[in-house]
């Protein structure tokens, strides 16, 4: 996890702790709705997979939609398969989170596959105490650092490296809210959810997406479905961890 000192110096940290120089580049991200909602325009988050046109052009901006940084734009890397989450989908997700988490100012959040950082920055904007964004793509990690510096977001840590390797180093029950949303065709969903189940606090929340109905996912016994919905070909749900 990046230290406060490294954040002030504008440094992105690799998985091994070494520094990465900050240059100007641009990022990626994901999709949501309400429990029984049927369809949201499939402009969704940054996923590359069978449900995504292989060479789709990404929109160049996505914005933070609530909290202290409301309307702040986030850059989106123009590359195949990048689909930032539509505003109304993200708004539904955060309505869920705020309803189920009465003390958001005490929350420690984690976005394991950060992309544009739309989810992590949104959580911090709405008052979370501390948020960690993990991104394996160096260009995206550098863009996240630029946004963090622009916002003077000292409560946000950015870690550059493999999400699952990094997650394995943290102690259990380290975060109250976790976004575990890897690209659909990466085969990372099951291990990502397993990692999140270990890292989330008792009664904490884990958000996941899939190209298959949520009911078909093999979820860890410690997690239950709290909210779920569908946006086009994307199935999404908010999971709740069991109490201690």
Task: Please determine, for residue 11, whether its predicted confidence score (pLDDT) is greater than 60.
Answer: no
Poorest-pLDDT segment among 74-78, 99-103, 118-122, 142-146: 74-78
User: If pLDDT is split at 50, 70 and 90, which confidence band does 235 have?
Assistant: confident
Which residue in 77, 78, 81, 79 sits closest to 46, CA to CA?
Answer: 81
The CA–CA distances, whole Å, from 212 to 47, 158, 199 equal 14, 30, 24
pTM of the predicted model as reported, rounded to 2 decimal places: 0.76
Other C-beta atoms within 10 Å of 108: how many? 19
Average pLDDT score, the chain: 79
Residues of the domain holding 232: 4-241
Strand partners, 111: 133, 179
Cβ-based neighbours of 57, under 8 Å, separated by 6 or more: 78
Q: What is the pLDDT of residues 137-181, one digit of tens each?
A: 999 999 999 999 999 999 999 999 999 999 999 999 999 999 998
What residue has token string 């739309």?
118
Q: How many structural domains comprise the chain?
A: 1
Cβ-based neighbours of 41, under 8 Å, separated by 6 or more: 86, 231, 232
Q: Could you tell me the CATH number of the domain that includes residue 222?
A: 3.40.50.150
Give the per-residue pLDDT at 67. 96
């Amino acid at each position: 996890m990046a230290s406060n000192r490294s954040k002030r110096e504008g440094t992105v940290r690799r998985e091994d702790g070494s520094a990465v120089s900050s240059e100007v580049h641009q990022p990626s991200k994901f999709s949501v709705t309400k429990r029984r909602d049927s369809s949201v325009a499939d402009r969704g988050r940054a996923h590359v997979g069978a449900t995504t046109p292989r060479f789709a052009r990404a929109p160049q901006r996505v914005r933070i939609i609530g909290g202290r940084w409301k309307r702040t734009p986030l850059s989106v890397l123009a590359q195949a398969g990048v689909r930032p989450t539509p505003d109304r989908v993200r708004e539904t997700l955060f309505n869920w989170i705020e309803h189920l988490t009465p003390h958001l100012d005490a929350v420690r959040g984690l976005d394991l596959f950060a992309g544009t950082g739309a989810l992590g920055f949104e959580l911090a904007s709405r008052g979370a105490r501390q948020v960690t964004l993990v991104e394996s793509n160096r260009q995206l990690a550098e863009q996240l650092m630029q946004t963090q510096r622009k916002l003077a977001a000292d409560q946000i840590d950015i870690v550059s490296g493999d999400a699952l390797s990094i997650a394995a180093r943290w102690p259990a029950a380290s975060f109250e809210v976790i976004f575990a949303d890897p690209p659909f065709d990466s085969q990372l969903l099951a291990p990502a959810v397993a990692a999140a189940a270990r890292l989330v606090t008792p009664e904490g929340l884990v958000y996941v997406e899939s190209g298959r109905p949520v009911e078909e996912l093999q979820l860890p016994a410690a997690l239950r479905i709290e909210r779920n919905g569908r946006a086009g070909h994307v199935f999404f749900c908010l999971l709740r961890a069991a109490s201690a």
